[in-house]
């Protein structure tokens, strides 16, 4: 039986002191890389929710989410560069990481990491306290990636609500409140 509870962020009423974790995809909507053009409407929706939460809630950040954000941002910059630049094309991500373009990307991501640090409280991933077999089973079934299972376990352990746009969270149950603008999750 599924016990995750999905909530539409458009009409969700945040309680003072409510504790939330944002999934990586939400941070990418709120703080997109300069080369992203397809996030306009979702960015506006998640930014409005972010501002509403900041008014009274507490946002937490774990190392997996930050790591995924930084890596996805940099890889998106690499992909954009290879599609749009007439100068050097980097055949591998490692080549890109060893270039001045990567230095520019890192400077951007460090600014965002500073903002996230200012907006969020950091939380430890208590990996030794999670059901390791369950994490592996969820991953092996292919319903969500391992980091998403760890994120859900972190939310459950600390009593956080999860803000995400990722439909994969509908396939795995951790008895969580999940807030989203993704209609496929709450319809």
In the CATH scheme, what architecture does the domain 5-186 have?
Answer: 3-Layer(aba) Sandwich (3.40)
- pLDDT at position 36, please? 61
Put simply, whether the predicted model's pTM sits higher than 0.85 gets the answer yes
As a three-state string, the secondary structure of the chain is CCCCEEEECCCCCCCCCCEEEECHHHHHHHCCCCCCCCCHHHHHHHHHHHHHHHCCCEEEECHHHHHHHHHHHHHHHHHHHHHHCCCCCCCCHHHHHCCHHHHHHHHHHHHHHHHHHHHEEECCCCHHHCCHHHHHHHHHCCCCCHHHHHHHHHHHHHCCEEECCCHHHHCCCCCCEEEECCHHHHC
| Domain range list for the chain | 5-186
- pLDDT at position 134, please? 87
- Successive 10-residue mean pLDDT values, the chain, 187 residues: 85 92 94 71 91 90 94 89 74 89 91 93 89 87 87 93 92 90 85
- pLDDT at position 87, please? 65
């Amino acid at each position: 039986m599924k016990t995750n509870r999905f909530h539409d962020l458009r009409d969700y009423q945040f309680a003072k002191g409510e504790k939330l974790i944002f999934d990586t995809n939400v941070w990418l909507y709120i703080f997109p890389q300069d080369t992203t053009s397809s996030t306009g409407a979702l960015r506006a929706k998640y930014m409005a929710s972010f501002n509403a939460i900041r008014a009274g809630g507490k946002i937490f950040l774990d190392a997996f989410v930050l790591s995924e954000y930084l890596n996805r941002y940099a890889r998106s910059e690499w992909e954009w560069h290879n599609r749009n630049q007439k100068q050097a094309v980097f055949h591998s991500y490692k080549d890109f990481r060893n270039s001045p373009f990567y230095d520019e990307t890192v400077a951007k991501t460090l600014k965002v990491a500073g903002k996230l640090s200012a907006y969020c409280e950091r939380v430890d991933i208590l990996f030794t306290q999670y059901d390791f077999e369950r994490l592996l089973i969820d991953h092996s079934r292919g319903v969500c990636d391992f980091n998403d299972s760890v994120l859900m376990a972190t939310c459950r352990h600390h009593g956080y609500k999860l803000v995400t746009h990722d439909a994969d969270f509908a396939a795995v149950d951790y008895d969580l409140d999940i807030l989203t603008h993704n209609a496929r999750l709450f319809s």
